[in-house]
Homo-oligomer: A and B are copies of this chain.
């Protein structure tokens, strides 16, 4: 079992908990909580695999995802009030998860002979779409469209991965550097509350 697989599982666990927390805040029942935890954790990889025709798709091909999600829901059920005190740990898991999801998704895209730009988008879909699905199913406008900068962090890490691949560095080193870029950008962005620009009505007249 490789380190990257362990990080993938940790990220899945963190994503599932984030989904379970949102769902329980919305007063969903146990089944609803399970579904939201599930789509949050594996929704991104699932969409990627359907789009690139990679069957069996992620959670069908590896049952461990289901077990981890189930464990995350049980964990949330038992320790909900404690998790609030673990928010920094959760944020770390979540951020590691995002970085691993992005790079594994990108690698999967490349392994299917997709154009690097398409593979990059597949990496971002893997990292981002689970949260989008979670928000759509809980009837909210996806957070990531408005404030979260983490798509940009994924983009930067993905580009780093592609660029470093051209200079023939060892794959492990490329993975670690690119994951570090994603993690650092996200941590810095959250710490300093950085946001992406928005389209303003008067941008043209100002410039």
A-to-B contact residues, CB < 8 Å: 20, 23-24, 26-33, 35-36, 46, 50-53, 55-57, 60, 63, 66, 76-82, 114-115, 117-118, 121, 132, 136-142, 144-147, 151-152, 195-205
Contact = CB atoms under 8 A, between A and B. Distances in A.
6 smallest beta-carbon distances between A and B, as pairs = A32-B145, A29-B196, A24-B199, A53-B55, A28-B145, A30-B196
Contact of A201 (B33, B46, B55, B81): B81
A137 B144 contact: no
Number of copies of chain A assembled together: 3
A72 to B, nearest CB: 12
Nearest to A57: B51
A203 B117 CA distance: 47
Contacts of A63: 115, 117-118
Contacts of A152: 31
